[in-house]
Amino acid sequence: MSGLYMLLGTLVTLGVLVTIHEYGHFWVARRCGVKVLRFSIGFGTPLIRWHDRKGTEFVIALIPLGGYVKMLDERETEVPEAQRSQSFNSKTVGQRIAIVAAGPVANFALAFFLFWCLAMLGSQQVKPVIGEVVAESIAAQAGLHSGQEILAVDGQAVSGWSDVNLQFIQRIGESGNLYVEAQSEGSSVPSSYTLVLDKWLHGAEEPNPIAALGIQPWRPQAAAIVAQLDPEGPAQYAGLQLNDKIMAIDGQAVADWQAVVDYVQAHPDSTVQLSIERDGQRQNLQVLLTAQGEGSQKRGYLGMGVAGGEWPQNMLREVRFGPLDAVVAGAQRTWTMSALTLASLKKMLFGELSVKNLSGPITIAKVAGASAESGLRSFLNFMAYLSISLGVLNLLPIPVLDGGHLLFYLVEWVRGRPLSERVQGYGMQIGIALVVCVMLLAVFNDLARL
């Protein structure tokens, strides 16, 4: 079933995002008087094709990894005299800029619409209450302690741990002060705390901002009873079975699942002895833990999960907006995610964020499937984030992307004449090389994660 979700999730996601992007180009081109020859979703052999009354051919092609809008253009083919006024190259610089920019703008508009819908649908969030603070950690040095609820980060109000994590992510690789506002249980007066960062998580491959600050979110106790097994994980190979109850690890009694997690993560690439109870009988199993991450981020991996404990109602909050307030919430989320995507690219370029965080089509497919399987809200949220990524990436000033064409047209607008075809040709070659290199790196990262 997961494979089916991945297939359908990927096809729907790419189909919608590519269609919206290309429709942006198409819609503005039509209104600028440009004749559109073909509107294609996908590449390669056409599966379905039809024509509209204006002669545009619409195509759904075999390979669903993109699309294009082909316009009448004298630089590509000979254009009859009667149709030259409908060619793309005959339009003013302003019109050409509008046509090229319309694709990424359409992606941002889609993200805003999805975030607006999500804001009205609402969500149940876990209050960002601190469970534990690791001794000598950045959070501990700042004075944060267990039982406090985080209210704001860097002046931005937060309602759940996802908001907190988003604010922390924006500071990865940076030095300076991180400001947190928190309130202790039973107090009505919030306190401010200053967390000092020094090249925080600089170059980290799989950053976990909340844990890196030394904060452990409050969670209800969960019994250490096996409910999930990674089929390729150490627990499966060692012989653990569903419904096994872990009683002790290396002779240390465990009270709940968190005690197992803490011990396992602290012992990567180690052999541990689990004392388990199965069908009322006690037995011991040796497990060779594997590792995830590298360097200071390296942690042990067991490959099993448990059923979560039941959350008390006082630790949950429902966040929902009316239609008008949702407009503001949707616009803020679109802006925040766009700025975060651009900032992350800059940090990768300057080495502040590891390029191993760059994902390609395999990861996109896996996340699309997982989000589709999780439900409508999760899937719409994923589509909105990916739409923003597509919009930002297409606006980068790299020839062959929309941003590269915009750069050429802006130069033409300033100079009063276009760059020579030779210069544009060199630019296109450099752009293609850059895009291919980035795509290969992204696919390599995907394969490494597998």
Known catalytic membership, residue 277: no
Crossing angle for the helix pair 2-31 and 93-121, to the nearest 10 degrees: 140
Closest-CA residue to 183 (of 150, 213, 142): 150
The answer to whether 381 and 370 are in contact (CB under 8 A) is: no
| Helix, strand or coil, per DSSP, at residue 96 | helix
Contacts of 338 (CB under 8 A, 6+ apart): 108, 388, 391, 392
Ramachandran quadrant class, 239 (left: phi over 0; alpha: psi -120 to 50; beta: rest): left
Residue 159 φ/ψ, nearest 5 degrees: -115, -15
Identify the active-site residue in 22, 149, 181, 352. Answer: 22
Tokens of 85: 């006024």
Taken in order 299, 300, 303, 309, the sign of the CA dihedral is: negative
Contact between 380 and 368 (Cβ < 8 Å):
no
Contact predicate 432/345, CB 8 Å = no
State the helix-helix crossing angle for 323-349 and 161-169, rounded to 10 degrees. Answer: 40
Q: Is 155 exposed, middle or buried (0-12, 13-18, 19+ CB in 10 A)?
A: exposed
Helix ranges, 266-375 (H): 323-349, 361-374
- Written as six digits, the tokens of 409 are 């047209």
Q: Which two tokens stand for residue 243?
A: 């419904």
**What is the C-alpha radius of gyration for the chain, rounded to an integer number of angstroms?**
26
Residues in the chain: 450
Which residues are tagged catalytic?
A: 22
